[in-house]
Amino acid sequence: MEIPFCHFGYHTKIQVRKMFRQLILNIKLRKKWYHRALYDTAFKLRGVRLPFPCVFGALFFNLHNLWLIFWRRTKQFLFYDPMFRYRCSSVGKSLYIEVNFPLILGYGSIFVGDNVKIGGNATFIVSYKTNPNPTISIGNDVYIGYASVLSCADSISIGNRVLIAEGCSIYDNNNHPIDPEARAKNEPVGQKDIAPVVIEDDAWIGAHSIILKGVTVGRGSVVATGSVVTKDVPAMTVAAGNPAKVVKKL
C-alpha cells in the first residue's frame, strides 16, 4: 500500500521534533562529552556582547524608529486616511490615525475637523436603533487618546483644541435599558436614557475618565484622571472624583 506524501510528511515532522527535544534534554543533562561541550559553550556565550554596544545600539534603535515611521505613514496614506474619510460625513485636513484603524460601529454620522489625531484602538459607536442619525462631531486640533470610546445614540459634540487622554469613555446613553427584562430581550435604550454630551473648546479630559449622558464640560476645564462625570463641569474649573466635583477654579 502506498503511503500518501502528506501522511509521510506529518510523521516525519513528529520524528524530527522528538529528536530535537531529546537532543535538548541530553544537552541539559550533559549525558556525554559532546553534550557537555555544547552546554559549556552555550553557557559561555550568554555573556558575550557585541563590541561598541553604544554604536550598534544607536544604529539599530534609529533604524527601528525609521522603519516604524515609514510603515505608519505608509499605512496612514494608503489605507487609514481614505477608509476613515469614506466612512465619515466630513473630515478636515491633516488627519492622523496612530497605530491602527479605529473600530467604528453603526451607521450614524461622524464629522471631523482639521488637525485631528486619533490614538490606537479608539472606538466610535454611532448606532443604538433609537434615533435615525446619531452624530459625533469633533472640532479642530483635537486629540483622542489610545483606547478611548465614544458611544453615541444621539449627539456627542467635541469642541476645538480638546485633549482626550488614553482610556477615556464618553457616553450619551446608558448603553443598555435599566429594565432587566428589556436587557434580556436585547432591546435598545429608550429615549429617556439618552441625553447629548458637549465638551467645549480647550477642555482636557484626563486618562481613564468617564463622561456620562447629559454632561457639558465647560470651556477650558480639566477633568482629573479617573473621574466619573455625572453632572455639568463649569468653564475654567478642575473636576475630580467619583462622582466628579469641582475642586479648583482656573
- Cα-based distances in Å from 142 to 64, 92, 120, 163, 218: 28, 12, 15, 6, 16
Return the ∠ at Cα 147 (arms to 124 and 177), rounded to 5°: 50
* Bridge partner list, 233: 217
C-beta of residue 177 within 8 angstroms of C-beta of residue 193: yes
H or E element in which residue 19 lies: helix 5-29
H or E element in which residue 62 lies: helix 53-75
H or E element in which residue 59 lies: helix 53-75
Catalytically active residues are: 176
Phi, psi of 62 (to 5 degrees): -70, -35
* Bridge partner list, 90: 111
Place of cell 556582547: 49
Cα separation, 123 vs 200, whole angstroms = 21
Cα separation, 34 vs 186, whole angstroms = 67
SS3 at position 210: strand
C-beta of residue 88 within 8 angstroms of C-beta of residue 113: no
